[in-house]
Structure 1
Amino acid sequence: MPNYRRPAFSPSPIFFTVCLADRSSTALLDHLDVLREAVRVVLRDRPFDILAWVVLPDHMHAVWRLPEADPNYSQRWGRIKARFSRDARRAGLVPPLSGPGTEARKGELGIWQPRFWEHHCRDERDLQTHIRYCWGNPVKHGLVVRPTDWAASSIHRDIRLGLVEPEWRSEAIEGAFGEAA
């Protein structure tokens, strides 16, 4: 088994990518209310700041800032994934899985890829690039023309709060990750 080494606490925000095991699934969007409730419960029990979040059919990206007193993001993701899996199964929203590679792991019930990817933002520019990457990701995947056309994105909250212009377009991050957003 690989030995993943994660850094000790850093006050820097962290960018995450979390994927479903079945990359052809649309479960995250189909059951967005279940996901939102899972996040609400974890936020209540283990608070953190959500700087950006976007949910796509089979994966999601988020940027979090964690409290210094409780920086364990792995446990938070584990709880979000486990609660979503449990509640979706109980409601009959997600069918039981069978076959090779669908074994349940740590309460995730085989719905999720076992791990997630994280990037610790190095500075303010890196943070802003990753926030904008979240907003532009639905455009990158060809799901919408403008970031504001995608309902499952924190860009709407940030527009309401005056943190971003309503006309913001994903071209603002073109090339930031080696390709157009």
Structure 2
Amino acid sequence: MLTTVVQGRRRLFEQPHNAEIVIDALRHVERSGRSYSLAWVIMPDHVHWLMELRQGTLPSCMNVFKSISSRKLQAGQVWQNGYHDHAIRRDESVEHAARYIIGNPLRAGLAQRVGEYPYAWCRWEIM
């Protein structure tokens, strides 16, 4: 489970076009074979991404994601350096992590129910 934050916590992803660019970058990383996405949410100033690393290293995967999205956003330095990662352990639930990610827009007051926020996706149907 990964979290990466916009430099200065600018709310870049309130603009739909910018959120779509980030979604395209996540999908590019998956199509390249580096990751297998399980859930993600593009919040106004950060991204949560639950994924399985398939190829390469986590730093190289995140570098590709940040590089592609930054170039397309053309907004100066887009991302803060680094990212927060949390490996899901055997005693933790991948589904619980997905629920947490998909629930972010509700906790932030950006949606009233799961499925309503346009910049969230999950491999499973989560209610």
Distance 1:38 1:145, change over 3 A: same
Q: Does 1:59 align with 2:81?
A: no
Determine the C-alpha separation between the residues in 2 that align with 1:29 and 1:65. 27
The Cα of 1:35 is off from its aligned counterpart by 1.4
**Equivalent of 2:33 in 41, 46, 60:** 46
Following TM superposition, where does structure 1 have runs of at least 4 consecutive aligned residues deviating by more than 6 angstroms? none
- The residue number in structure 2 matching 1:79 is 64
Where is the strand percentage greater, Structure 1 or Structure 2? 2
Give 1:77 shift.
Answer: 1.0
Deviation readout 1:112-159 (Å, 9 max, x if unpaired): 11010000111264322211100111111121121221111114x533
Deviation at 1:78, TM superposition (A): 0.9
Q: 1:158 aligned to 120, 124, 127, which one? A: 124
Query: Counterparts of 1:43 and 1:83 in 2: how far apart (Å)?
Result: 13
If each structure's helix is expressed as a fraction of its own residues, which one has the higher value?
2
Question: Does the 8 A contact of 1:34 with 1:84 survive in 2?
Answer: yes
Return closer, same or farther for 1:124/1:62 CA change in 2, 3 Å cut-off.
farther
Give the structure 1 partner of residue 8 of structure 2. 22
**Where do residues 99-178 of structure 1 align in structure 2 (5 Å cutoff)?**
110-123=77-90, 125-155=92-122, 158-159=124-125, 164=126, 168=127
Question: 1:46, 1:76 within 8 Å by CA — same for their partners in 2?
Answer: no
What SS does the corresponding residue of 1:154 show, helix, strand or coil? strand
Consecutive unaligned residues of structure 2, counting only runs of 5 or more, are none
**Cα offset, 1:82, TM superposition:** 1.0
2:8 alignment partner, SS class: coil
Aligned length: 125
Q: Which has the larger radius of gyration?
A: 1
* CA gap 1:29/1:73 in 2 versus in 1, 3 angstroms: farther
Q: TM-score, normalised by structure 2?
A: 0.86
Q: Which residue type is aligned with residue 62 of structure 2?
A: W
CA RMSD in angstroms, aligned pairs only: 1.8
**Which amino acid counterpart does residue 21 of structure 1 have in structure 2?**
Q
TM-score (norm 1): 0.62
